[in-house]
Structure 1
Amino acid sequence: METIIRLFGSWQDFAALLVFLCCWMGYEPVVKRVSQKSGVIFKDLTIVRRAWMKEMVIRSFKLYDSNLIGHGVNSMSFFASANLILIAAVAGAIFTEDLSYTSVHALGIDTSSSALFLMKFGLVIVCLARGLLNFIWALRQTNYAVAAMGAIPENVDEKTGQEFSAAVSDIFEPAMSNFSQGVRGYYFSLAAGAWLFGPLPLAIASVGATILLAWRQSRSQAARGLRRMRELLEDHPYPTRTRPIYDGIVEPEPDTAPQTAATDNQNARSQNV
């Protein structure tokens, strides 16, 4: 206990940090367990994305899919850049020589212990750094998924098409999961920043961020809409259409040669007249 008090200044700070770590690290495992019993965005969106991959495999014109993937890549790049800027800003606040503890204390921030003060800023950087790594890994996995999508053969039977869609989903799904983890890091970075104002604000902000995330996962309008979408997809047999090759039927191309010859003869007669 004496070591904790010497390091953190008080046992309240240590307890608040434990609450934060439990909320931050325990949120996703709890959501995954809850999603097995009731509908949440995490589970519903997985089913929706897998349905998308099944449709993508049989879609001849994939410009629609490439636009959606491009939107996801742009979002990941934006958040990764924003994370990097925030990390640089917080690190600059820590390592700048002009940092005035008197000015910071005027904002209501506890500066009684310089080590604890730097530790609070360090926690914010750790949250942002983990989010940055999540975004980078999500971007790399999305690039892998794009390569896999481009390698899908044009003419495949139904069983092979389902196998290809499952393989692409296994690459694409972790990318989206890491993207969600990176976005979630912003919530807990704000909660970590509350530690600057004391242990109680840190504990309240940590629990509040967890409750807000849980509500958005299960009770928000988007969650209800995705749950309804999942139910429709489960009731609807997809892929919605099949190529003729699936049934062993290849539609012949229309023979336009006789029509072209007749048109040329008619034009020749008109010129002679």
Structure 2
Amino acid sequence: METLPALIEALPRLFSRGDLVALAVFLLCSALTTQLIEHPPRRRPSVSSLMGDHRRRWMEEVGRREVRIMDAQLLSTLRQGSAFFGSTSLIAIGGVAALIGQTDQLVSLGRDFGAGLAQNAEVVWEAKLLIVLLVLVNAFLKFVWAHRLFGYVAVLLGALPRSDAEGLASAVARVDAIHQAAARNFNRGLRTVYFAIAALGWFLGPAVLALTAVLTTLMLIRREFFSRSWRALDESGRR
């Protein structure tokens, strides 16, 4: 197995033009999906943006309440979710890292299934696994940061002044800003996991990678803009 710097330097030489095009489609789909979901058209907000409005209302209600035990429990649930997905991503990272050192068995399995593999197929598969690994690491980092931000929200929630105290509005706005950032990173982590699964299609060929990336994008757009959840959250009567 080549060292990591040498492998990264060799990526352009290892992949065919079809692989590079498919990888570009994959990265473009991922970036455009995030851009569309986080900055949707005004006439068609995404589920994520609608939930952002509801989170803002939640924080406003927290400022009016004297007893905030329920809010602390809800934040604990959100933090547990980010911890779960962070742990799951870490397990997946370990699995992919272990596969990088055993690509000879994967190549042998591919030949058994009749796949047309080149002589340097072992190195190519190592490079593909490395890219999948980087995508999973990106997801893990987002979940870890979301977990920490949810912890910040809990601290700020505990520091909120009484409902009739001066400076309550600015304190609530501060809590809401950190809460929105935590949810944004958590949602980005989830989308990254979706695309990490889509990246596995690369082992069946560049056309499959491009197809899985496009299908993942369409699935996320449908869930964010045309799902039953969207209709339930939208309050403007748009359908």
Q: TM-score, normalised by structure 2?
A: 0.87
CA distance in 1, matches of 2:56, 2:35: 21
Give, as a single letter, the amino acid of the residue that structure 2 aligns with 1:73: R
Deviations 1:34-81 (A, max 9, x none): 243422112111110000000011112211111110110111111000
State whether residues 103 and 125 of structure 2, in contact with CA within 8 Å, keep that contact through their aligned partners in structure 1: no
Residue 169 of structure 2 is aligned to residue 184 of structure 1: no
Aligned to 1:117: 125
The 1-side partners of 2:143 and 2:228 are apart by 26
Cα 1:92/1:111, change in 2 over 3 Å: farther
**Deviation larger for 94-103 or 46-55:** 94-103
Mapped to 1, the partners of 2:189 and 2:182 lie a distance apart of: 11
Q: Is the CA contact 1:138–1:178 (under 8 Å) kept in the aligned structure 2? A: yes
Count of matched residue positions in the alignment of Structure 1 and Structure 2: 226
State the alpha-carbon separation in 2 of the partners of residues 24 and 116 from structure 1: 23
CA distance in 2 between partners of 1:61 and 1:69 (Å):
15
Map of 2:177 onto structure 1: 170
Q: Is the Cα–Cα contact under 8 Å of residues 4 and 14 in structure 1 kept in the other structure?
A: no
User: Which amino acid in structure 2 is aligned with residue 171 of structure 1?
Assistant: I
Q: CA deviation at 1:155?
A: 4.4
- Whole-Å separation in 2 of the counterparts to 1:111 and 1:66: 55
Q: Is the CA contact (8 Å cut-off) linking 1:90 and 1:121 kept in structure 2?
A: yes
Gaps of 5+ in 2: 1-9
> Is the aligned partner of 1:197 residue 2:207?
no
For residue 110 of structure 1, report the CA deviation from its aligned partner.
5.7
Partner residue, 1:143:
151
Q: Residues 26 and 213 of structure 2 are in contact (CA less than 8 Å); yes or no, is this contact kept in structure 1? A: yes
Counterpart position of 2:215? 208
Quote the Cα distance in structure 1 between the aligned partners of 2:73 and 2:44. Answer: 32
**Pair member with larger Rg:** 1
Change (3 A) 1:195 1:110: farther
Structure 1: distance between partners of 2:192 and 2:19: 21
The residue that corresponds to 1:71 in the other structure is 77
For 1:66, the aligned partner's letter is A
Q: CA 1:179/1:80 → structure 2, altered by over 3 Å: closer, same or farther?
A: same
Letter in 2 for 1:203: A
Is 1:127 the counterpart of 2:152 in the alignment? no
The question of whether the paired residues in 2 share the 8 Å contact of 1:35 and 1:42 is answered with no
Does 1:48 find its partner at 2:46? no
> What is the alpha-carbon distance in structure 1 between the residues aligned to residue 103 and residue 228 of structure 2?
48
In structure 1, stretches of 5+ residues that fail to align are: 233-273
- Aligned-partner Cα distance in 2 for 1:181–1:172: 14
Q: Tell me the amino acid that sits aligned with residue 133 of structure 1.
A: L
In structure 2, how many angstroms separate the alpha carbons of the residues matched to 1:134 and 1:30? 19
- Tell me how large the CA RMSD over aligned residues is: 2.2
Measured in 2, the distance between the counterparts of 1:192 and 1:122 equals 11
Q: Give yes or no for the alignment of 1:62 onto 2:68.
A: yes
Alignment partner, residue 156 of structure 1: 164
CA distance in 2 between partners of 1:224 and 1:215 (Å): 12
The answer to whether the 8 Å contact 1:109/1:196 transfers is: no
Q: CA deviation at 1:98?
A: 6.8
Match for residue 19 of structure 1? 25
The sequence identity of aligned pairs, in percent, is 29
| Residue 111 of structure 1, CA deviation | 3.9
Tell me, in whole angstroms, the C-alpha distance in 2 between the residues paired with 1:98 and 1:43: 46
SS of 1:184's partner is helix
